Structure 1
């Protein structure tokens, strides 16, 4: 009898714990993929309320720190808080426009009013999560696949903007860096094996950055100016102030955030092979709400799932939640020691853009894979997907399309993911199932 055990690990791959070198490199890879997204909202908000460079640095550190706490809560879980899936959480851009509106109306204590509204929004999500989680029955494959596809497609313009460094036209050097990075990621994915193929994105980012250095495209000013230690003390930017109008505005935002988080959780469940149940969704939304409420203490903002990291999970097949938990630890360190964040910020935007093209595209591919589970023999499903994709692409194709609408409607409509999601759910309820039932009945009646 052989002394070698053939018993397989009964744990789901999501619950597997890779060796610590893989945890560390995988965590850094996730942070590299989402770093630009988590620092962008505080940059915009801080500039709008007139923070000094030093205070702005603290605001960014606060967003990184709270994103790390939110990610740890979401991946590891505490009681009924946390989906326990490889989900990275960070500051949502959906709240930026309403926050700027609130700041404009309360110039004297803008951040205090913002934090009061955000705290109320977080508590609302915690309380409303069990009811919102019952909506999973309204997300059959035809709806889920459409939403996942929209997530990927809506992120692709972000990658293109990174290639051009947020300018109208890309420079030759930017195109070169993006192209080399894209090719490097594809080559590493194709020809490396095992763990090394799973960190192909990180290797591609390193390759692109090394090429950018002699070209003078690496900005080291952030690293030089960043303080070594800079954790934000509680209520550093002011205690929460509760204003009814501001709270109502933020509650609308949190409904949109919940819809997007629902789509992200459903997408991630499909990708990792652990379908998202009503309980998982409720636990994930509760974690979003608690993280949002707690973030106001340390100077952060509303938290939600980062879709680009879902694409990374799909691309690398590193589905362990502990790898993403490691990224949460990295984010906490970046928030507490801003100088380490300066190292991550060395990656030029065109390099991020090159990697983002394949990263975000992989999310869309996951959506197409889910759509394959729906039957397109029925015209209802074709209409649902066609109309929902069309509505979801409107704000992506023409960003200012809804600028004349009320602010409350803009919050929903300016998010292609939310607009497309609502459209898909409503169309599926209105005629999707009815058409299928009618078609089936017709087929049965024709049988001799």
Structure 2
């Protein structure tokens, strides 16, 4: 009798394990869809600018997806040297698009990859120093930074909801608006009335259901799937052996500083959500992982990688705070990178659908920042000024990045990014008002 009971318990445990892993897989797929379009946009933009052939574009997109999986795994698995150990997803750093286009267009593709490798080594080497700046990121700074990360990206969601290109005649047409806002409504309904696992995948359900409806309205084309290859193998130096140019390397090093600042904000957001306090060593390992990912990107002729804030919103919405689903997302990225035809399926999701989902996700990131700011003592005028001025500057620069168009390119790279401006402003104002250089040990 005892043996039979034991067998039943083992069977129940086995079923629970299977169900749990299935849930993690689905949650991982949700993470993948949240970042996929934003990631593949980078190789598409750069490849188009540099007039890549169809074969080159196929390689570029496939290797990019594959390396996203590699970069994510580097962050998930914490080792003595690398890995933040938080449920974070990495994708192409969109800040690098314009500088890389400039380098590739003026000097050649191989110099572009040489600059990426140099920037990756730079990030790896300064990781320890940058991590020690953690003491300059109290809640008033991290809250301002995370708030601006979320809210400055909401307009990107609205742009996609309208159809992608504001100057296009079809932008904001009734079909786009219907599909985009319907996506938001579906996500809200699932979040409000579903229970358990279904509630945790509200974004995934919203994307899939809205895409199905959009297909019925003629907004889904399967052409990218039919044109994609079945199998692809990553290759070192596909476009040639990297070459190095000092100006190009310095430019990408400056870009890497902006991505490190943004990653810092995402790390602290995830720390707040998961309840895990980050140490200086944690941050150092996280930055090192991004440095190694960039070096690998250069060697395999793809791009630098940074944390994706979209997935912070997914994590917040799902309520599942473990790394397990993100491991599945990473392995799915590896698989899709090897099977371009399968990976192309994710590219057929209409922009209005993604835009609707992005509005929810980025809004959640912004609110996460507000929640952190709620811990700040705003009866102190110093904290009030630090947050208000920093967020105001970040929003202003995001709206008018051309404000610094007459400055040197190197200055524009730094000051033309609202998130970076918010971070710099918040750190400096916090130092000025709260005299942290004197009180911190």
- TM-score between both structures, scaled by the size of structure 1: 0.90
Counterpart selection for 1:217 from 216, 219, 231: 219
Matches for 1:188-203 after TM superposition, within 5 Å: 188-203=190-205
Tell me if structure 1 keeps the 8 A contact 2:144–2:369: yes
Q: How do 1:272-351 residues align onto structure 2 when only pairs under 5 Å count?
A: 272-351=274-353
Per the TM alignment, residue 433 of structure 1 is displaced from its structure 2 partner at its CA by: 4.2
Query: In 2, distance between residues paired with 1:19 and 1:268?
Result: 22
Which residue number corresponds to residue 251 of structure 1? 253
1:84 equivalent in alignment to 2:82: no
Give the C-alpha shift of residue 400 in structure 1: 2.8
CA distance in 2, matches of 1:62, 1:307: 22
The equivalent of 1:369 in structure 2 is 371
Match of 1:440 in 2: none
CA contact (8 A) 1:76 1:321 kept: no
1:147 matched to 2:145? The reply is yes
Equivalent position of 2:389 in the other structure: 387
**More off after superposition, 230-239 vs 172-181:** 230-239
Q: Quick one: distance in 1 between partners of 2:52 and 2:18?
A: 42
The residue matched to 1:19 in structure 2 has which SS?
helix
Residue range with higher mean Cα deviation, 301-310 or 74-83:
74-83
> Residues 243-299 of structure 1: CA distance to partner in whole angstroms, max 9, x if unpaired?
111111111111111111111111111111112221111111110001111122222
Task: Describe the SS at the equivalent of 2:37.
Answer: helix
Asked if the contact 2:104–2:110 (Cα under 8 Å) also holds between the matched residues in 1, the reply is no
Q: Which string of whole-angstrom CA distances, capped at 9 and with x for unpartnered residues, describes residues 18-46 of structure 1?
A: 82211211111011111111111111111
Pairwise CA distance, 1:240: 1.1
Equivalence for 1:266: 268
Aligned equivalents of 1:351, 1:115: Cα separation in 2: 33
CA distance in 2, matches of 1:358, 1:285: 28
Secondary structure of residue in 1 paired with 2:348: coil
Let me know the Cα RMSD of the aligned residues.
1.8
Match of 1:29 in 2: 30
Task: Report the alpha carbon displacement of residue 79 of structure 1 after superposing the two structures with TM.
Answer: 3.3
Retained in 2: the 8 A contact 1:189–1:197? yes
Note the 1:12-161 alignment, pairs <5 A. Answer: 19-106=20-107, 110-161=108-159
3-state secondary structure, aligned to 1:213? helix
Q: Structure 1 regions of 5+ residues with no counterpart? A: 5-15, 438-448
Say whether the 8 Å CA contact 2:162–2:180 is kept in structure 1.
no
1:401 offset after TM fit, Å?
2.7
Distance 1:120 1:239 in 2: 14
* Structure 2 partner of 1:446: none
Q: Does 1:206 align with 2:208?
A: yes
Change (3 A) 1:279 1:264: same
Residues of 2 paired with 1:403 and 1:219: CA distance?
Answer: 39
1:417 aligns with 419
Unaligned ranges ≥5, structure 2: 6-16
Runs of 4+ in 1 over 4 A off after TM superposition: none
CA distance, structure 1, for counterparts of residue 109 and residue 397 of structure 2: 28
Q: Equivalent residue for 1:186?
A: 188
Q: Return the alpha-carbon distance in structure 2 between the equivalents of residues 350 and 57 of structure 1.
A: 25
Greater mean alpha carbon deviation, residues 17-26 or residues 191-200: 17-26
CA distance in 1, matches of 2:290, 2:402: 29
How many aligned residue pairs are there? 419
Q: Partners of 1:214 and 1:77 in 2: how far apart?
A: 45
Instruction: Give me the whole-angstrom Cα distance separating, in 2, the residues matched to 1:194 and 1:387.
Output: 41
- 1:233 is paired with a residue whose SS is coil
- Distance of aligned partners of 1:131 and 1:285 in 2 relative to their CA distance in 1, 3 Å threshold: same
C-alpha displacement of 1:17: 11
Tell me, yes or no, if the aligned pair for 2:401 and 2:417 is still in contact at 8 Å.
Answer: no
Counterparts of 1:227 and 1:142, CA distance in 2: 49
Post-superposition CA distance 1:403-447 (Å, at most 9, x none): 22211111112221111111100110112348xx9xxxxxxxxxx
